[in-house]
Every structure is written in structure tokens, then in C-alpha cells.
Amino acid sequence: MEKTMGAIRLRSVALAALLFVCLIFTVSSSVLAQGNESSGIPARSAADYIHSVVTASRAFYAKQVVERLGNEIALRATENWEEENTLPLPAQFLKLSAENSSELGIGLKIRLIGLNPINQENAAVTDLETLGLRGLSKDSDEPFTLMLQKEGTWTFQAIYPDVAISQSCVNCHNEHPNSSKKDYQLGDVIGGILINVPLSNVPLAEKGKVFLVPPQIVSDYIHATLESDRYVYTEHVVKRMAAADIVEAKEFWIDENALPLPDQFLLNTGRLTRGSKMRLNLRLISQWPINFNNSPANEFERNALGMVSDNPLRPYLGRTRRGRTTYFQAVYPDFAVSDACVDCHNSHPKSSRKDHQLDDLMGGMIISFPVKK
């Protein structure tokens, strides 16, 4: 008797627990939906932000580094840039940076792919990627998007068209011995930029809805993409060119026919993305700025610099209103990761601090974009 009672009680407890769990589930999924509605970024917008950074830095690199220095000092970009002491091709630059950000372990994956690739590493690896590439149109920027599920986790995938915007794309791809397609024309889709945005723990029932990514994760992805571009530019362009005595990075790079500084590379990428309709803002700030315009502009930015210096592992987050739009803001610490940062800042006549050391905090990188409320 005792035993049966016990069993029944146990069963009703289990039932109650099950009911409770169901309740929590429905409550939390509706809270989740509401909470996300006001605080999350649609996965598609997250991919759009990352895509805009990737293409802005390639455009700046192609125009202000490759094209300008090709004209001014006859420096060339070639496929075997390492052996030939030349600049990496824009496609190689994009690929190096994509590999770097994909290896950070934060889940973000970026790849440059093609149906008739010059390099087989860039071939589509799944049927869906092939389908996506075939579906891209030369007349629209619209990416091919889909949801992937692997081991219970969902990933949002977007493939953006990569179009032959100049005759040089056409000529080089048509004439390349490893290209299996020889009849590209101006405006054709040569391939795609694939971006995978992981969505952790999206309940199955939510499939088909708008998927939202927490804004701090979106800013982590944007930060990783920007950092990778600056890193690739510093390592594979600035340092190599200086070591080979070919050309240096200088503050007044336009007048001096030089390479832009790594900071300027980053800031110009930011300027290009801000110019687009994305409203993605990017700034470098510091308590000890070389350029007075990079001083903290308000209470939030002053606090942020203090906070990231005390706790450099996480960015400092906040929200601000401009007009009728609310912006999410994240400030990431910016460290003196190489001697070059220290030497240049300490010796710069306009720098208000002359004793920076390796690994010191030099300032912060602010990333901001609109969120609902």
C-alpha cells in the first residue's frame, strides 16, 4: 500500500513536473519571442552587416591599395604574392581574412565560393551551396538564404552574389589556366560570398519564423571580421612590404604614395559601411588620442574606456537614441598587439601619451547599429 501510494505520488509529481515544464516552455518561448523582438537582430541583418564589412574592406583594398599603388609606384597584385614580393589579389585578401575570422571559434564562417572556381578549394561543398550559387542573379544583391541544422543547432546561411564589376575580373578569370569557364562577361556572377551565422538553441517549432540573434553576438561577429581584416592587412601587406623595402605605411598615404596605416584601413572600412544604407557605425577612440576627434565623445564612451581597461575580456555594452532610432553600442578594448603600435603612437608628435608598452590598452573600438527599441 505504502509502495503504491509512493508510486502514484511519484507519478503525479512527475506529471506535475511535466506540466510545469510545458508551462515554462510556452511561457519562456513567448517571452523569448517578445524579448527577442525588442532586443534581437534578424539573422538576415546580421549576415548583411558582416557582408558589408567584408565587401567594404575588399573594395578599399582593391581601390586604395592595389589600384592606386599600381598606378603610382607600379606595385602589382599577383597570385604568387609571397614569392614575388607583390600584393595579394583582392580575392586572396578576402579569403585570408575569412579564414582568420572563421578560425576564431566563435562560430562565424565566411567563404568565397564559385561554380567554376580557379581554386578548387573554393568549390561549393554541399548541394545546397551549388543550388544557392546557381540561384544568384546578376541583377540583384539579394542573397540566397536558408536554415541548416546540424547536431541540433541551427545555422542561418546566406550566399551573396559576387559580380564581375570591372573588366579586370572578367579578363583575369577568363584567361586563368585553372578556370574552367572562359566566357565571363562584365556583370556576370563569378561566385558568391557565403556567410554562416550560428543560431544557438532555436526551438524546432520556431522554424520558419524570423530568427533573431542577440545584438552582442552580432557585434562580436562584426568585431571579429574587422579585426581579421586589419590583422591580414598588417601581417600580409604592411609588414611584408616594409621588410622588403618596397613601400611603407604612412599617415599621409595619399600625398606620399604610401600604404594607409592599419588604423586608417579599419576606419576607412568603417566609413564605407556607414556610407551604405546599413547604418553600421564604427570608431576608434582613446583617452590619449593622436587625432583629437577620436577622444571619447560622451559619458558612455568615457565610462566604456574605463570599464574595458578594468575588465578587458568583455566589451562594454549600451544603448543610445539618435532621433527616433535606438542604437546598440559595444566598445571593445584595443590593445597594442605589436611593436609597431607602440613605436608609432609613442613617437607621434600629436600623441598625448609617450609611454605605451606592448600589450597595453591603447583605446577602444566602438561598433554600433540600430535595434528595435
Note the residue count of the chain.
Answer: 373
CB of 147 to ligand HEC, least distance (A): 24
Return residues touching ligand HEC (CB under 6 A).
Answer: 79, 89, 91-92, 95, 112, 114, 117-119, 121-122, 162-166, 168-169, 172-173, 190-191, 249, 251, 261-263, 284-286, 289-291, 294, 334-338, 340-341, 344-345, 362-363
Cell of residue 354, nine digits: 609617450
Residue with Cβ nearer ligand HEC (218 or 258): 258
Residue with Cβ nearer ligand HEC (112 or 218): 112
Cell of residue 253, nine digits: 598615404
CB of 197 to ligand HEC, least distance (A): 20
How many Å apart are CA 346 and CA 362, to the nearest integer?
Answer: 11
Residue with Cβ nearer ligand HEC (41 or 77): 77
- Beta-bridge partner residues of 249: 259
CB of 125 to ligand HEC, least distance (A): 13
Residue with Cβ nearer ligand HEC (63 or 209): 63
CB of 117 to ligand HEC, least distance (A): 3
How many Å apart are CA 60 and CA 274, to the nearest integer?
Answer: 13
How many Å apart are CA 186 and CA 216, to the nearest integer?
Answer: 39
Residue with Cβ nearer ligand HEC (213 or 237): 237
User: Which residues, 6 or more positions from 3, have their beta carbon under 8 angstroms from its beta carbon?
Assistant: none
* Residue 62 Ramachandran class (φ > 0 left, ψ -120 to 50 alpha, else beta): alpha
CB of 315 to ligand HEC, least distance (A): 14
How many Å apart are CA 35 and CA 184, to the nearest integer?
Answer: 48
DSSP string, 254-269: TTTT-BPPHHHHHHHH
How many Å apart are CA 222 and CA 237, to the nearest integer?
Answer: 22
CB of 372 to ligand HEC, least distance (A): 30
Residue with Cβ nearer ligand HEC (284 or 307): 284
